[in-house]
Chains A and B, each alone.
Chain A
């Protein structure tokens, strides 16, 4: 195996192949970033709705719980299939990357909403009551009282979640999205040894994911220390 890798290596590490791998890594990272950003925004809305106590929002509270509990219990692969076959008849021109990103957003909204909810709930109840006494509206309470304190609790698990999502996007390769895993399959189909092709892919995933998970550990230590001095 090692002999085969050594003889193939010069051909494998050609400029074009490296550019192709870089583009694939960019797509993996892009899908993760877009999915996590949109998921964070929508997840914040869901968590805020679920944490609110206003009467008119009650049906939306139930919907938010149902959404989160549903999408946290369906495998990403099944969501991918459903989104693919639901979008394609309506928008035949939608690109596979777009479809995969939609599926990622659906899932990340559910997971990030749970993380954000835990953060919002970490703020003591008395502060919400004080804000109500000061005649703060719900939005003002959220943005000037709750979030400035809750972000310390939210950020570390959110980063850990992004690390998990870099790896989950690998499943999008099954639909034909040309991200890192698919690039590995292409190399193997072109005749490179699987150990070299998938080995390079493993290294690239590690290079994307490891700095982020180090950042998560670092944030957790720093922010936890700042919270309990």
Chain B
């Protein structure tokens, strides 16, 4: 078994691949923030909503967390044209990712919402704290401490998960790797380099999220 590794052809494509990494991060950030917005409404609905709205949200979360994102996007991509709705691949992928992450983020944020205990709110009122003070000193620290670690974890999962956009022809990091490897025919080297880029960007993301958490919310997260 002789195989000559040839990294030269991959190094030449590095700027192109790194551009793909930026697209991957963009997909993850967009998905995260829109998903978190829906997740916030979902969580509030689950905790404070009426029975009917609770059932609807519970059903939504159960369905989307128990089926693969890939098949959800296939469904959107191939079935929506039947309804006369023709969307570009990137739009379909983003809609699929947002719908999917909204379900997971609902669960994560719900855990934060229920972590604030009634007794602590009563205690804050007894100390004559104003509404804003209660939010800043009692509610937010609790919620942040509970949900910051799973949220930053979920962001990393989103960066990795954005790779399946490649299967719909979106040119993010994995998609560009497929493009490069079909022209230079150096698949192992190309995907090896891409794996290293993924490790690097998720590591930098974990590190900056951990530092941000420490600085802004005094959350101690471990990076390793």
Contacts and interface: CB of A to CB of B under 8 A. Distances in A.
A90 interface: yes
Interface stretch (A33-41, A65-73, A126-134, A219-227): A65-73
Contacts of B198: 73-75, 78
Given A73-B202, A73-B203, A188-B78, A205 B71 contact: yes
Contacts of A4: 82
Contact of B192 (A77, A82, A167, A194): A82
Nearest to A203: B67
Interface residues of A, number: 43
Interface string B199-224: 10011000000000000000000001
B101 interface: no
A213 B82 CA distance: 33
Given A75-B163, A198-B79, A82 B67 contact: no
Given A77-B163, A85-B188, A206 B224 contact: no
A15 to B, nearest CB: 24
Interface string B35-59: 0000000000000000000000000
Contacts of B68: 166-168, 170, 181, 205
A134 to B, nearest CB: 31
B195 interface: yes
A5 to B, nearest CB: 9
Contacts of B69: 167
A144 to B, nearest CB: 29
A174 B175 CA distance: 13
B161 A75 contact: yes
Contacts of A198: 71, 74-75, 78-79
A202 B195 contact: no
Contacts of B66: 163, 167, 205-206, 209-210, 213
A225 to B, nearest CB: 18
B62 A194 contact: no
Interface string A158-178: 000001001110110110000
Contacts of A194: 74-75, 78-79, 82
A68 to B, nearest CB: 9
B70 interface: yes
A209 B67 contact: yes
Interface in A98-141: none
A191 interface: no
A90 B160 CA distance: 28
A146 to B, nearest CB: 21
A86 interface: yes
Given A65-B224, A184-B74, A75 B1 contact: no
A168 B160 CA distance: 12
B192 A73 contact: no
Contacts of A168: 68
Given A81-B191, A167-B68, A195 B163 contact: no
A199 interface: yes
Given A174-B167, A181-B74, A78 B195 contact: yes
A193 B82 contact: yes
A171 B202 CA distance: 21
B174 A202 contact: no
B187 to A, nearest CB: 4
A24 interface: no
B166 interface: yes
Given A73-B199, A78-B174, A198-B78, A184 B191 contact: no
14 contacts: A70-B195, A70-B199, A73-B203, A74-B195, A75-B161, A77-B166, A78-B195, A170-B70, A185-B74, A193-B82, A194-B74, A201-B71, A205-B66, A206-B67
Interface of A: 1, 4, 65, 69-70, 73-79, 81-82, 85-86, 89-90, 163, 166-168, 170-171, 173-174, 180-181, 184-185, 188, 193-195, 198-199, 201-202, 205-206, 209-210, 213
Q: Give the top 7 A-B pairs by smallest Cβ distance, nearest first.
A: A194-B78, A75-B163, A167-B68, A170-B68, A195-B79, A209-B66, A198-B75
